[in-house]
Structure 1
Amino acid sequence: MQDQYELLRQHFEEIVTLTDEEWEFIAPHFEYKKLKKHQFLIQTGQPVDCEFWIINGLVKSYAVDDKGDEHILQFAMEEYWVSDYYAFQNKVPATTVVDCIEDSEFFCVSFESRERICQNVPAIANFFRIKANYGFINLQQRILSLLTQTAEERYDNLLFKLPKLVQRIPKKLIAAYLGVSRETLSRFKG
């Protein structure tokens, strides 16, 4: 378990510097969690108590429409942060689902714990600000790609940016992420 906590500290220290005293304050606020493939981190309508940092594994974040169709917002793997951020921030029921594509391990931090850490360790407040900005940039790029690119161009970009991720995701999920059928996906050159 100590090795996982060291990974979390290294993750923070890719962006900010922490003293040992600061780390001793931060670490107890994070809870370790392990889930199997197909188990849920977040389900629609349920409270969202935590933000999750992925130690190992792969998850998908998605919404389900009135017809029961899944609309995948994000895939997240090692060193990604994931949650239903609207529900997490506003303390309302989840509107998205996050479930495991693979057996996965996480660190969870509650909203209250994250706020306490940020108030007491300014470097961590800076870390979360920077991470939020990266998340906003990625979301903006995803929306722009949906508006301006063909599905094949989005697939090529996914292959270019995240080739290892694409190898881990079933083709039907990649097709759903791109908004095409699996048959259409199979015609892409990639």
Structure 2
Amino acid sequence: MHDKLREHIEKIVPLSDDEFAFVCTHFTIKKFKKHQFLIQEGEAVKYSYFVISGLLKLVHTDDTGKQHIVSFAMEDWWESDFYAYYTQTEATMSLECVEDTVVFCLLLEDYKKLCDGLQKMERFFLQKANFGFIASQRRIISWLTSNAKERYEQLLKQSPSLIQRVPKSLLATYLGVSRETLSRLSS
């Protein structure tokens, strides 16, 4: 499993064996079952998560009780309620397993130690944050400028494996359409 983490990091920064050994001391591995929560709204957010295997959904529940899927995270993706993680405040979103999932967990304290102790990791996390920010902006623009069919086609083009793994009811929620509308879009 550590090989997957190393491969992921080395897509951005090369690491010596000693540097990678240092990196590994800051992560723990946890396994979760389908429907189990890694984060629940209103609780403290201890970790950011790197997905080794499985699939997660990040959900915000509004004041009326309606759930909004903010994102999905599968292998090689990072996920958390990042606002709550970095500010050490209560979660405003829940992170739940769509499939049985294995993750590397990183405490904020260990994140800071990694960045302070190895400049390469600071550069790695900066680039991951930048890519995440870009993806969020692109999704917002898509929501503002695209109709449901166009959003579905964009998702199909960008993440075809996600479409195969996520139940249609969750995909519909993510795209902001009814299950019936999604069925028409996907046929």
TM-score where L is the length of structure 1: 0.97
What CA distance in whole angstroms lies between the structure 2 residues aligned with 1:73 and 1:126? 26
1:64 matched to 2:61: yes
* Runs of 4+ displaced beyond 3 Å: none
State the partner residue of 1:143. Answer: 140
Aligned AA for 1:79?
A: D
Alignment length, in residue pairs? Answer: 187
State the partner residue of 1:178. Answer: 175
What CA distance in whole angstroms lies between the structure 2 residues aligned with 1:111 and 1:134? 20
2:103 maps to which of 102, 106, 109: 106
Give 1:32 deviation, angstroms: 0.3
What CA distance in whole angstroms lies between the structure 1 residues aligned with 2:12 and 2:52? 17
State the partner residue of 1:7. Answer: 4
What CA distance in whole angstroms lies between the structure 1 residues aligned with 2:8 and 2:182? 34
Q: Deviations over 1:135-165 (max 9, x none)?
A: 0000000100010000110001101111111
Q: How do residues 46-85 of structure 1 correspond to structure 2 at under 5 angstroms? A: 46-85=43-82
What CA distance in whole angstroms lies between the structure 1 residues aligned with 2:39 and 2:65? 17
Give 1:27 deviation, angstroms: 0.4
Aligned AA for 1:19?
A: S
Q: Give identity over the alignment, percent.
A: 48
What CA distance in whole angstroms lies between the structure 1 residues aligned with 2:51 and 2:136? 19
Q: Deviations over 1:74-107 (max 9, x none)?
A: 0110000000000000000000010000000000
Gaps of at least 5 residues in structure 1 are: none
Q: How do residues 105-124 of structure 1 correspond to structure 2 at under 5 angstroms? A: 105-124=102-121
TM-score where L is the length of structure 2: 0.98
Aligned AA for 1:15?
A: I
1:168 maps to which of 161, 165, 168: 165
Structural RMSD (CA): 0.8
Q: Secondary structure at the match of 2:136?
A: helix
Q: Secondary structure at the match of 1:18?
A: coil
Q: Secondary structure at the match of 1:55?
A: strand
State the partner residue of 2:31. Answer: 34
Q: Secondary structure at the match of 2:44?
A: coil
What CA distance in whole angstroms lies between the structure 2 residues aligned with 1:21 and 1:178? 44
Aligned AA for 1:36?
A: K
Aligned AA for 1:109?
A: L
Q: How do residues 124-143 of structure 1 correspond to structure 2 at under 5 angstroms? A: 124-143=121-140
1:24 maps to which of 21, 36, 44: 21
Give 1:186 deviation, angstroms: 1.0
Q: Secondary structure at the match of 1:29?
A: coil
What CA distance in whole angstroms lies between the structure 2 residues aligned with 1:20 and 1:168? 35
